[in-house]
Amino acid sequence: MKRIFLKMTKSKFHFVTKLILMVFFTIITASCASDNEQPPEAPEIPSEISQEIKDLIYFRGDENAPIVLINAQGGPDNVLATEEVNFISENFNTTDILTVNVHQAQTLHPNILDDTDITLNQAITFNAESIEILDQVITYFKNEGRTVYVLGVSFGAFMVQDLIATKGIDTADRYLIMVGRLDINNSIWQALVEGRYGFFENGITPVIDADPDPDVVERNIGRIAAGLAMNRYTQLLNPIEDLSKVTYVYGTTDEAVGSLTTEEVQFLESKNVNIIAGNGDHDETINNFFQQAFNEAFGIE
């Protein structure tokens, strides 16, 4: 089957008098200090990105742009993608926006998937490394005083969910999550651990291959997906009171990850997430709502 998976006094009078005078002089002093203080200057954005960060990304646009749009690529795959960044740069108004795609563990080191079957624990470790890389890139640009938006589609959606759960909602300024799942069916991720792929009939019913994929790389890629899909994000994200920085897009007939359940939608609503939903499958949902989602999430047209 084709692979498609993818937040004290002497007297009361003297005490009161002294207290009033203390408060008065404190206010005057603070006011004078405030008048003399200048607002802190925004850090100057370097004209070039450091080589350390360049080694972790593919990018297009002005290197010192004030806004950085960072993509957590889908798949998962073992090659750093360029097409998402190219598409965004060529089809949206990205003036003053630097568009970036970030390496993941298996794109930095493709050989980790090549020879033998990895374990679920290894996949979890690789995904943790990927989150650290993503966080490193975001933090680099945030520390320069830039506005940072984060995009995750399909497997990238799981990456962004995990980023928020582990690093906090204030890691970036805004997030767009498309065609992901919060609590995907156990049968799907458990099958991926065994190297077996599946899909959702009508976006609801899991249908799983009887046999593992014959290719070791494909089996290992499935395990990378399982290493995030196994997480219950309604639980991991629950400590974050407000997720209003997030726009979440899903399709009700998504064959790759399935439709969000009523419980998942209610969770997002309870956290003030901006939800966009349609009756399309995986690709249709991306194609039909990408422009609307970019506008609503980032104000990019």
Are the CB atoms for 53 and 137 separated by under 8 Å? yes
pLDDT at 26: 40
DSSP 3-state helix, strand, coil percentages of the chain (rounded to 5)?
45, 15, 40
Please list, residue by residue across 188-207, b when 16 or more beta carbons sit within 10 angstroms of its beta carbon and e when fewer do.
bbbbbbbbbbbbbeebeeee
Q: Within 10 A of 70 (CB to CB), how many other CB atoms are there?
A: 25
For the domain spanning 51-298, the CATH number is: 3.40.50.1820
Given a cut of 80, whether residue 4 has pLDDT beyond it is no
Query: Roughly how many angstroms between the first and final C-alpha of the chain, as a whole number?
Result: 37
Q: What pTM was computed for the model?
A: 0.85
Q: What are phi and psi of 55, to 5 degrees?
A: -70, -10
Nearest to 273 by CA among 234, 244, 236: 244
Structure tokens at 203: 């976006």
pLDDT one-digit tens code per residue, 84-117: 999 999 999 999 999 999 999 999 999 999 989 9
pLDDT one-digit tens code per residue, 188-204: 999 999 999 999 999 99
Given a cut of 90, whether residue 15 has pLDDT beyond it is no
Which alpha helices (H) appear in the chain, and where do they start and end?
12-36, 51-54, 83-91, 105-108, 120-143, 155-167, 186-193, 216-229, 233-236, 262-270, 282-298
Are the CB atoms for 137 and 56 separated by under 8 Å? yes
pLDDT at 43: 62
Mean of pLDDT over the chain: 88
Distance of CA 11 to the CA centre of its chain: 61
Question: Any residues with CB less than 8 A from the CB of 52 and at least 6 apart, and which?
Answer: none
pLDDT one-digit tens code per residue, 170-187: 999 999 999 999 999 999
pLDDT at 24: 37
Q: Is 21 left (phi over 0), alpha (psi -120 to 50) or beta?
A: alpha
Given a cut of 70, whether residue 9 has pLDDT beyond it is no
